[in-house]
């Protein structure tokens, strides 16, 4: 997630100070991606250093620094919007690591972890689905895009956990409890 580009996008709509930027970011993302105000100001410092934002000459009456996007910032933002996003190196997903680490143990323990994670993923999917259902007809389009993305990600996680469960079932050692046919005593030849 590019916090700096998100802040530039908000500033492109009008000048603002740090806390306003954080509040607007969280409003647009529905609070799903909380943003620390310290991170906002650190990012603004870097953007100012790189001449992508500038301080307005006059601070707000309460002394807040007001930032505005520069021409270079608009160019950078336009480039970001026009460039397709590329997947980065996969993050270290805690669930994936958990399954990698438990998979060498007994299949029962692995199955328990998969089931617990699957239940949690389904609950999360239900929460996101309720968010979408409860969204008003005039809800922010960006918010709806975000909720759809979260729903699709949760659905994919559930499908992946289903596949893990199927693989686990196929990998379990086959039981050899079927008794072998009893051997018949040899007939004695006369």
Backbone φ and ψ of 90, nearest 5°: -55, 140
For the chain, the structural domain boundaries read 3-82, 94-171
pLDDT in the model for residue 76: 95
**Quick one: pLDDT band at residue 173, thresholds 50, 70, 90?**
low
Q: Which residues are registered as beta bridge partners of 53?
A: 69
Q: How far is CA 109 from CA 98, 121, 168, in A?
A: 11, 18, 11
Average pLDDT over residues 61-84: 90
Instruction: Report the distance separating Cα 95 and Cα 104, nearest Å.
Output: 15
94 versus 89: which is more confidently predicted?
Answer: 94
Q: Which pTM value belongs to this model?
A: 0.63
Of 38 and 175, more confident:
38
Rounded to whole angstroms, the Cα distance separating 174 from 180 reads 15
> For position 14, what pLDDT does the model report?
93
3-state secondary structure of 70: coil
Of 157, 154, 33, 170, the residue nearest 98 (C-alpha): 157
Indicate the pLDDT class of residue 127, thresholds 50, 70 and 90: very high
3-82 fold: Arc Repressor Mutant, subunit A (1.10.10)
| pLDDT of 70 over the 60 cut | yes
pLDDT at residue number 53: 96
Question: Hunting for tokens 């409890």 — which residue is that?
Answer: 177
Q: Which residue has the higher pLDDT, 27 or 74?
A: 74
Check residue 190 and give its pLDDT: 43
Measure Cα distances from 54 to 42, 72, 83, 117, 189 in Å. 14, 11, 24, 46, 108
16-41: pLDDT as tens digits: 999 999 999 988 887 778 888 999 99
Which of 77-86, 157-166, 175-184 is the least confident region?
Answer: 175-184
């Amino acid at each position: 997630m590019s916090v700096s580009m998100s802040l530039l996008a908000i500033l492109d709509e009008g000048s603002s100070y740090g806390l306003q930027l954080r509040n607007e970011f969280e409003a647009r993302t529905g609070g799903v991606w909380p943003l620390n105000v310290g991170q906002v100001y650190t990012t603004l410092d870097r953007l100012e250093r790189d001449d992508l934002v500038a301080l307005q000459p006059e601070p707000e009456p309460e002394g807040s620094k007001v930032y505005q996007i520069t021409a270079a910032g608009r160019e950078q933002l336009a480039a970001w919007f026009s460039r397709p996003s590329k997947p980065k190196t996969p993050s270290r997903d805690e669930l994936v690591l958990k399954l990698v680490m438990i998979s060498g143990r007994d299949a029962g323990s692995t199955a328990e972890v998969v089931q617990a994670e699957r239940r949690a993923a389904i609950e999360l999917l239900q929460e996101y689905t309720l968010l979408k259902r409860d969204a008003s007809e005039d809800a922010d389009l960006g918010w709806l895009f975000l909720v759809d993305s979260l729903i699709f990600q949760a659905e994919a996680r559930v499908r992946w956990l289903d596949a893990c469960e199927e693989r686990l079932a196929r990998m379990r050692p086959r039981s050899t409890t079927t008794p072998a046919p009893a051997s018949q005593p040899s007939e004695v030849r006369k």
